[in-house]
Amino acid sequence: MKKRMMSCMLLLSMLIGTQAYAARLVVGGKNFTEQLILSSMTVQYLKAKGYQADLKNGLGSTLMRSAQESGQLDVVWEYTGTSLIVYNHVEEKLDAGAAYERVKELDEKINLIWLQPSALNNTYAFAMPQALADADNITTLEDLANKITQDQQQNPDKQHLLGLDYEFASRPDGLGPMQVLYGFQLSRSEVKQMDPGLVYTALRNEQLYAGLTYSSDGRIKGFNLKLLEDSKGYFAAYAATPVVRKSVLEQNPQLEEQLNQLSAAIDTEKMTEMNKRVDIDQESIDKVAAEFLQQQGLI
């Protein structure tokens, strides 16, 4: 009788544990390649860990945020800079660590919990065609600024075309303050405003001297572009981080550690390669995500 009771208790414990562990989670993602990969990766990873996971991606930033706040999404990958600037309207300039701590504190008030940030920083950046960067020995934005200023003094007729999207050219944390910080000045004819995608194509064809890009975009590698170091720290950090509703973490005690393990495996270089495989090599998102998880020993 005692053995039967112990067996029943053990079975009941296993059933309860399995039910809690196999929770249904809804993973959200935004509507660009990197987010499609991250969200697919997260769903595959969670399923391998025993959860039931549904995917809802292809969302705009504000829609994804609203859906998580209202409880329609449980897990998303968000960027520190987006939460800081777009959602919480913080204008103070903060370094990467301070930005993370600030958004973590602010979002916890609405029961959104920021886990450990990855080493993926998808921030604004400037890039040049690799051949031009090598020829002029440019590796940083400071080098670029010095080269432009030097050429303006020695050869005033020489122009340096910079490609930018329409927003960055005029916004208060855009091109103007960047020129002040780095100490150079472009003429109006040297600033070419265009669709963000066309910037990459123009850089590949060497129709621009430099252009505004995103630091983990696959076209940086696919088009053989040189990403310039932001040597004076002008651009805000956009560290990709798992954000989970507080009640979901409380209901799934192991989830935080599991997502932190996933976050720890991701960095800018690895993400750039995955973005390239999708955007340039035309591989499927699910395949790229699955192979990354396997290579990292996560599934």
Q: What is the pLDDT of residues 235-286, one digit of tens each?
A: 999 999 999 999 999 999 999 999 999 999 999 999 999 999 999 999 999 9
Instruction: Check: CB of residue 55 under 8 Å from CB of residue 218.
Output: no
Distance of CA 30 to the CA centre of its chain: 11
Q: What is the mean pLDDT of the chain?
A: 91
Count of helix runs (H) and strand runs (E) in the chain? 15, 10
Residue 34 in any domain: the answer is yes
Confidence check: pLDDT of 170 > 90: no
Specify whether 72 is located in the same domain as 151.
Answer: no
Q: What average pLDDT does range 115-119 have in this prediction?
A: 98
Q: Are 14 and 110 part of one and the same domain?
A: yes
Give the model confidence (pLDDT) of 10-56 as tens digits.
Answer: 444 444 443 344 479 999 999 999 999 999 999 999 999 999 999 99
pLDDT of residue 4: 52
Q: Tens of pLDDT along 202-236?
A: 999 999 999 999 999 999 999 999 999 999 999 99
Angstrom distance (rounded) from CA 236 to CA 263? 20
Full residue range of the structural domain in which residue 51 is found: 2-121+238-295
Residue identified by tokens 């209202």 is 70
Asked whether the predicted pLDDT for residue 110 surpasses 90, the reply is yes
State yes or no: pLDDT of 3 exceeds 60: no
- Residue 232 belongs to some domain of the structure: no
First and final CA of the chain: distance in angstroms?
Answer: 42
**CATH code, domain carrying 197:** 3.40.190.120
Q: Is the pLDDT of residue 148 over 60?
A: yes
Mean pLDDT of 114-130: 97
Three-state secondary-structure class, residue 163: strand
pLDDT of residue 158: 87
Q: Tell me the whole-structure pTM to 2 decimals.
A: 0.84
pLDDT for the residue numbered 169: 81
- What pLDDT is recorded for position 197? 87
Kindly state whether residues 214 and 168 are assigned to the same domain.
yes
User: Per-residue pLDDT tens for 64-107?
Assistant: 999 999 999 999 999 999 999 889 999 888 999 999 999 999 99
Domain membership of residue 233 (yes or no) is no
Q: How far is CA 240 from CA 15, 16, 289, in A?
A: 35, 34, 16
In a domain, 133, yes or no: yes
* Residues 162, 141 share a domain: yes
Cα separation values, 30 from 60, 78, 149, 165, Å: 5, 9, 39, 20
The pair of three-digit structure tokens given for residue 196, joined into one six-digit string: 């963000």
